[in-house]
Structure 1
């Protein structure tokens, strides 16, 4: 009899696994059908999501409640759907500059309001009640900054509860007594999966609830969900999953929500090559979160052994935007072999709707244990200082007919301007603009300087590095966002 029951259990488990895998594949393949196209850029604001929330208010499947306000008076909404006994609570953008999962939540709403996947949605909504609190920190989102208007990190306010946003999160969690919680964040794009050149595109954590990092059923169930989600991401971004540091932080919401009895899954959206606006990562959030909700609904996660949790590589921080390997650098009459690691930082415009890049040398020397989103083997190339072009131009429009690549090939990385644009610090062409007669600092490589130079081979300039972007001067291509204007 026991053997018969085991066979039945095995059959049910395999059947649930097959259904979940099929669901995952289909929602990945059809993602563009449900993607919320009004949220294409990372710098989304409270006003951008309000029309979408208002539409949900008119849908009888959803319950939309105002559950609080930010310090500056922006409404915080809880959006619920389903009638199941298991409560799943998802909150996003606790940090204002971490919007990837907020976008994915609205993609999930589009699928839930569609007529598609009726069987899977019936399973979910009869067994689970979903509660979403998107954009917990709308004041921070307004300025695309991590902290709230009070200047604090909401994710370090679980004990004192001095922020209105933190008070709302605690009150909602307690009122729901949620079984599962998804704590949705973005992380630094320079994290990699430990000992690999793969970015940690998605990182997970089942937060510890004490200093000893004990594992009870609550935390164990979170680990099982993470193992399940990791297996999904491996299909679409193999090797690009990391495991966040699980040192106990007594002030953090994730650690405390785990402690309060909600199985808490931290999801951090990192970097993905050539995905500046994190739209591919948004898709991975959508697929993995929906699949996790489905496995919670059908109970498949319960049979996952938690031993696999420790097999997920830890997060490391060894990535650069550009890594140049083995270049020759002549200094004081002697040649040296160096690697250069470049990071490109984002500087927001006045209304925080877009940004320009400022490149910086983050490190140089022996960087053999580091990696780059873009890695260039510069063996045989010599780093050469760029020159200032002698001709002076009246305005930016005056250089529109210049062959900039020809200038770069000739060794010029700066153009002199009689009058520089007043309202901007970035240049659209791959060459810097300087005021006529401006003295540039001595060219000497060191951390912190803007990476602008030429890579010369056999006396010929074959590549230019402008503002940290590598430009192939023969192919005349690059992924340069902007050069700089020096005043």
Structure 2
């Protein structure tokens, strides 16, 4: 089992005379710490009530009431959103190092909120061999957590608040009740450290690689010149520690967010108010649409950073390591098809195609619409999935010639058999009222009165429903609603498909 250095801060928990003795790396209170133990820690304390991204304020409210009973946190309702939803703050610790963490100021950016509730569970734990960590945190830190600043946005799974204002662009004007609340809490508490917790889109990549950025970090600028004072340098040092542990989990999948000074932004203002502030942006990871693995990374790096702050050990990092982290590039797509033939007999054309999927929120869930994002010479573009299509050609999708009587007649096996025969859409003649608009993960488009959209050509911005086949017309791949399905393999992607009856 690979053993690695979790953080210098953890080393100070040992009783050895030299806490930085290399022979003691990975030891916490006599326990050897490796990735499997971090994983086990998160698995034990992962909040099971939050298991997908589209949870609501009521879910957070219920969990707050549970933690209220533990008496570990001082929990206060510090305000209400525009639509009257409660905004809570949890206070923890009796130390003199003040730390403030706030999450979900954008309603559709919930990954860190899940991680915070995992962290609350950990802090309430005991007798698991990690009590020495809790003692260090409790005795050295004074923490304020705001787990959901924008409950109205969370209710709609939208970025902005109920007034359509971006809370992270309201630090200067304080036009919103939620933005004004965050600023007032910061001014009264006067934190020395801040954590601004967000999600970024999944199409950022590490420059010149096909690696999606799983975690993006930033020590925000406090002035237009992007100067580095003691406060910002402290944030950089904390990030160096985060990056060290992230490289053990997601090597070459970490980047920096754009550091252009934003006078309206809260991170930039917290930095100027004297709080060493770290921005964490949860990005993308193949096979993790609900960001549960990235949630775990948030839990680990936030807990790691809090330990380092408690011990002061982050100061041992060289801030130059921060500059070595590359900035985000934006070259990712869901699918990139390279060298596909899709012209016609009179005007042949072979080119690259990029596909992206857009999410459409419906209730507490969502469905997907795939579209053609780009066409042309795309060697600098990358895909979560890629197809080398030299010698292959575009083949239009068809609608199944025979409708099915009801939705129950459409099994996954029947749907996949139709798909492999060139049919991407099937009509259901008698849908129940409860089935209209139903979300499903079948490998086919289902429609009743609305005709499924097929296209005889590749159209920029158009639907991504077509086949890729060889010169004989044999179908090799289906691009179904922006998902790539290898027709020569058993269907494994069905659980990830997010389609809707039209």
Same fold (TM over 0.5): yes
Quick check: 1:182 aligned with 2:182? no
Contact 1:154 1:166 in 2 (8 A): yes
Summarize the Cα distance change of 1:164–1:84 in structure 2 as closer, same or farther, 3 Å threshold.
same
Q: Which moved more, 1:337-346 or 1:105-114?
A: 337-346
Deviations 1:426-451 (A, max 9, x none): 55422223457959565221221111
Q: CA 1:199/1:421 → structure 2, altered by over 3 Å: closer, same or farther?
A: farther
What residue number does 1:5 align with? none
Match of 2:118 among 107, 111, 130: 107
Does structure 1 residue 52 correspond to structure 2 residue 63?
Answer: yes
Among 212, 217, 231, the residue aligned to 2:225: 212
Tell me what 1:405 maps to. 416
Matched, 1:395 2:409: no
Kindly provide the CA deviation profile for residues 44-94 of structure 1, in whole angstroms up to 9, marking residues without a partner as x. 111101222112222232111121111111111110111111011110000
Residue matched to 1:29: 40
Q: 1:28 to 1:406 in 2, by over 3 A?
A: closer
Distance 1:389 1:325 in 2: 29
| Equivalent position to 1:293, from 282, 288, 306 | 306
2:332 is aligned to 319
Structure 1 residue ranges without an equivalent (≥5): 1-8
Does residue 305 of the first structure (1) align with residue 350 of the second (2)?
A: no
- Residue ranges of structure 2 left out of the alignment (5+ in a row): 1-15
Partners of 1:239 and 1:437 lie apart in 2 by: 45
Q: CA deviation at 1:199?
A: 0.9
Q: Does 1:119 align with 2:132?
A: yes
Offset, 1:267: 0.3
Q: Which residue of structure 2 aligns with residue 172 of structure 1?
A: 185
Which secondary structure does the structure 1 equivalent of 2:158 belong to? coil
Q: Deviations over 1:280-338 (max 9, x none)?
A: 00000000000000011111111211111111011011111111122221325343222
1:290-439 equivalence runs, <5 A: 290-349=303-362, 351=363, 353-400=364-411, 403-419=414-430, 423-424=436-437, 428-434=441-447, 438=451
Distance 2:499 2:63 in 1: 37
Which residue in the other structure is 2:11 paired with? Answer: none
Separation in 2 of the partners of 1:338 and 1:295? 51
2:152 maps to 139
Q: Structure 1, residues 250-305: CA drift from partner, whole Å, max 9, x if none?
A: 01111001001111000000001110100000000000000000011111111211
| In 2: Cα distance, 1:84 partner to 1:144 partner | 36
Mark the CA change 1:62 to 1:407 in structure 2 (over 3 Å): closer, same or farther.
Answer: closer
Q: 1:220 to 1:410 in 2, by over 3 A?
A: same
Q: What secondary structure sits across from 1:315 in the alignment?
A: coil
1:277 has 2:290 as partner: yes
CA contact (8 A) 2:437 2:500 kept: no
CA drift at 1:134: 0.6
Q: Deviations over 1:116-173 (max 9, x none)?
A: 3111111121111121011000111011111001110000001111111111111111
Q: 1:228 aligns with which of 241, 244, 253?
A: 241
Query: Aligned pair in 2 of structure 1 residues 484, 124: CA closer, same or farther (>3 Å)?
Result: closer
| TM-score after normalising by structure 1 | 0.92
Q: How far is 1:420 from its partner?
A: 5.6
Deviations 1:204-262 (A, max 9, x none): 11000100111000000000001110111110011110101110000111100100111
Structure 2 distance, partners of 1:24, 1:225, is 20
Match of 1:237 among 207, 230, 250: 250
Match of 1:479 among 463, 484, 493: 493
Distance 2:228 2:296 in 1: 31
* Alpha-carbon distance, 1:455 to partner: 1.3
Deviation at 1:384, TM superposition (A): 0.6
- When structure 1 is superposed on structure 2, of 312-321 and 46-55 the one drifting more is 46-55
Match of 1:3 in 2: none
Q: How many residues align?
A: 476
In structure 1, distance between residues paired with 2:133 and 2:448:
63
Give the Cα separation in 2 of the matches to 1:439 and 1:264: 49
Relative distance call for 1:212 and 1:421 in structure 2 (3 A) is: farther
How has the CA–CA distance of structure 1 residues 175 and 385 changed in structure 2, closer, same or farther, with 3 Å as cutoff?
Answer: same
1:401–1:269 Cα change, 3 Å: closer
1:240-259 equivalences under 5 Å are 240-259=253-272
Quote the Cα distance in structure 2 between the aligned partners of 1:401 and 1:224: 51
Question: Is structure 2 residue 70 aligned with structure 1 residue 70?
Answer: no
1:478 Cα deviation from its structure 2 partner? 4.4
Q: Secondary structure at the match of 2:310?
A: helix
User: Quick one: distance in 1 between partners of 2:310 and 2:154?
Assistant: 32
Whole-angstrom distance in 1 between the partners of 2:187 and 2:290: 34
Aligned to 2:476: 462
Q: TM-score, normalised by structure 2?
A: 0.90
Aligned-residue Cα RMSD (Å) equals 2.3
- Judged with a 3 Å threshold, the aligned counterparts in structure 2 of structure 1 residues 173 and 455 are, in CA distance, closer, same or farther, namely same
